[in-house]
């Protein structure tokens, strides 16, 4: 649809935008909330980046309709569920998947069942799932326990599993890589992501491989991911792929330990995961791209979150900030070379987790509602 006054087509979501690269029937109506098309913002206030001549961009996925990257996968997964005649969706979640599943199920007129770890999801995410009318089941266990349960339930009951083990989720999420290439006009040298269940790093790698694959490339590993989608285009979009860097919280870092963990713990509750479902795929992305995994402490995560909010005006949730924390450390250490172009995904909006934000910020000052009192505080605090 085109805007009559400007002639510019109205953006109607990523299925309409990338339908030729998504595994949906041609006539299927998209269940969409206008997701995708998020900004790629260059960071400009960090001296280290100037010193090293590194261009660091953040892909602000918190600006999706439910304020996280999950909407990219959910629009495709729920559209496909409707196409298949399903009437209910189910997921386990650390919060964002449940918020997104609840919203897209509401949009499609479906029932959503969501399993969340009791007391371990950020308040905004819980409010979203409840407000969209999902049946919220709190379990006395963590995300990994919930995941094991929903996989069994979806095997036996007529409900569609919309965690990232659902391949349509990854197909939707791969479009973030397409957008980055289009926004930059090229591939970045490095792409930094938080890693929890490991679906998103896998999805980005699929996207980058697809845009660097062309008919005739059948023997390359990029082709193994593009599943013939390259044949839709005469030429590859870009020649290269970035190195994929995956960052985990120290208390929840199975990729660093080299094995699954039973008791993950971190303030970044979105990535409080010990048994990532896309384990093999994430290792492949890391190996094939010549990237790496690394870990950061909760303190380092919060420092980066604050730096982005205060220094750049960009509010993301703690789990998202780990991508910037990791990139900055690797730039400082020279692992990311001077002159590189780096993209960090900010996976979720900071408003999701108001408790953590308020705890680490200066408390508001309370004064009488009088000019003198307010003026005095202003004068004392002028920068
Ligand atoms: N960042 C945020 C804000 C997330 O919510 C998640 C995952 C991740 C990063 C990690 O992405 O799992 O693809 O490696 N959240 C899931 C959820 C697990 O249930 O909302 P991943």
> From the CA of 271, how far away is ligand 1's center (Å)?
6
> From the CA of 270, how far away is ligand 1's center (Å)?
5
Is ligand 1 within 6 A of the CB of residue 270?
yes
For the record, the structure tokens of 101 come out as 């599943």
Collapsing DSSP to helix, strand or coil, 241 comes out as: coil
Nearest atom (ligand 1) to Cα of 68:
3
Sheet holding 135-139, edge to edge: 135-139, 111-117, 88-92, 160-161
Q: What does the pLDDT profile of the chain (383 residues) look like in tens digits?
A: 566 677 888 999 999 999 999 999 989 999 999 999 999 999 999 999 999 999 999 999 999 999 999 999 999 999 999 999 999 999 999 999 999 999 999 999 999 999 999 999 999 999 999 999 999 999 999 999 999 999 999 999 999 999 999 999 999 999 999 999 999 999 999 999 999 999 999 999 999 999 998 888 877 888 888 877 777 776 788 889 999 999 999 999 999 999 999 999 999 999 999 999 999 999 999 999 999 999 999 999 999 999 999 999 999 999 999 999 999 999 999 999 999 999 999 999 999 999 999 999 999 999 999 999 999 999 999 87
pLDDT digits (tens, 9 = 90+) for 167-195: 999 999 999 999 999 999 999 999 999 99
Is ligand 1 within 6 A of the CB of residue 64?
no
Is ligand 1 within 6 A of the CB of residue 318?
no
| Helix segments in 273-370, DSSP class H | 279-288, 298-307, 318-332, 354-359
> From the CA of 9, how far away is ligand 1's center (Å)?
32
> From the CA of 89, how far away is ligand 1's center (Å)?
18
Is ligand 1 within 6 A of the CB of residue 146?
no
Residue 365 phi, psi dihedral angles, 5° rounding: -95, 130
pLDDT of residue 12: 97
Nearest atom (ligand 1) to Cα of 92:
19
Beta carbons of 246 and 255 less than 8 angstroms apart: yes
With CA atoms as reference, report the closest residue to 317 among 341, 343, 292, 345. Answer: 345
Is ligand 1 within 6 A of the CB of residue 199?
yes
Collapsing DSSP to helix, strand or coil, 334 comes out as: coil
- Model pTM? 0.96
How many whole angstroms separate alpha carbon 19 and alpha carbon 351?
31
pLDDT of residue 1: 57
Orientation angle between helical segments 70-83 and 96-108, nearest 10 degrees: 40
- Our mutation pick for probing the ligand 1 site, out of 68, 89, 92, 96, counting the most ligand atoms within 8 A of Cβ, is 96
- Our mutation pick for probing the ligand 1 site, out of 100, 192, 197, 353, counting the most ligand atoms within 8 A of Cβ, is 197
> From the CA of 232, how far away is ligand 1's center (Å)?
31
Beta carbons of 70 and 174 less than 8 angstroms apart: no
Beta carbons of 222 and 288 less than 8 angstroms apart: no
pLDDT digits (tens, 9 = 90+) for 20-67: 999 999 899 999 999 999 999 999 999 999 999 999 999 999 999 999
pLDDT of residue 115: 98
Is ligand 1 within 6 A of the CB of residue 188?
no
> From the CA of 273, how far away is ligand 1's center (Å)?
9
Is ligand 1 within 6 A of the CB of residue 95?
yes
Collapsing DSSP to helix, strand or coil, 132 comes out as: coil
pLDDT of residue 215: 82
Sign of the Cα pseudo-torsion (254, 257, 263, 267, in order)? negative
CB atoms within 10 A of CB 310: 12
Nearest atom (ligand 1) to Cα of 194:
9
- Our mutation pick for probing the ligand 1 site, out of 347, 349, 352, 353, counting the most ligand atoms within 8 A of Cβ, is 347
Specify the DSSP class assigned to residue 269: G
Specify the DSSP class assigned to residue 339: T
């Amino acid at each position: 649809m085109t805007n009559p006054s400007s002639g510019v087509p109205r953006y109607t979501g990523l299925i309409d935008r990338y339908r030729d690269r998504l595994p949906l029937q041609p006539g299927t109506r998209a269940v969409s909330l206008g997701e995708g098309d998020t900004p790629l913002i260059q960071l400009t206030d960090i001296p280290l980046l100037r010193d090293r001549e590194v261009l660091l961009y953040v892909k602000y996925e918190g600006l999706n309709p439910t304020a996280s990257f999950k909407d990219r996968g959910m629009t495709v997964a729920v559209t496909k569920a409707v196409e298949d005649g399903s009437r209910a969706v189910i997921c386990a979640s650390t919060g964002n998947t449940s918020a997104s599943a609840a919203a897209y199920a509401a949009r499609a007129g479906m029932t959503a069942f969501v399993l969340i770890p009791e007391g371990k999801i950020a308040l905004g995410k819980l409010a979203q799932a409840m407000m969209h009318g999902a049946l919220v089941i709190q379990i006395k266990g963590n995300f990994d326990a919930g995941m094991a349960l929903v996989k069994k339930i979806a095997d036996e009951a007529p409900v569609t599993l919309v965690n990232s083990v659902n391949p349509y989720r990854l197909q939707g999420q791969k479009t973030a890589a397409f957008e980055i290439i289009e926004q930059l006009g090229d591939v970045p040298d490095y792409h930094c992501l938080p890693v929890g269940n490991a679906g998103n790093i896998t999805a980005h790698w699929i996207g980058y491989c697809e845009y660097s694959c062309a008919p005739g490339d059948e023997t390359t590993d990029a082709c193994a991911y593009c599943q013939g989608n390259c044949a839709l285009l005469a030429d590859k979009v870009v020649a290269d792929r970035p190195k994929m860097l995956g960052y985990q919280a120290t208390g929840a870092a199975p990729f660093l330990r080299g094995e699954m963990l039973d008791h993950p713990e971190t303030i970044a509750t979105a990535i409080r995961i010990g048994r990532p479902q896309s384990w093999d795929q994430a290792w492949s992305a890391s190996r094939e791209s010549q990237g790496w995994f690394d870990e950061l402490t909760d303190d380092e995560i919060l420092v980066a979150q604050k730096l982005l909010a205060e220094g750049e005006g960009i509010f993301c949730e703690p789990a998202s900030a780990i991508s910037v924390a990791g990139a900055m450390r690797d730039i400082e250490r020279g692992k990311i070379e001077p002159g590189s172009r780096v993209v960090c995904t900010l996976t979720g909006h900071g408003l999701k987790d108001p408790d953590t934000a308020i705890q680490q910020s200066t408390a508001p000052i309370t004064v009488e509602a009088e000019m003198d009192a307010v003026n005095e505080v202003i004068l004392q605090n002028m920068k």
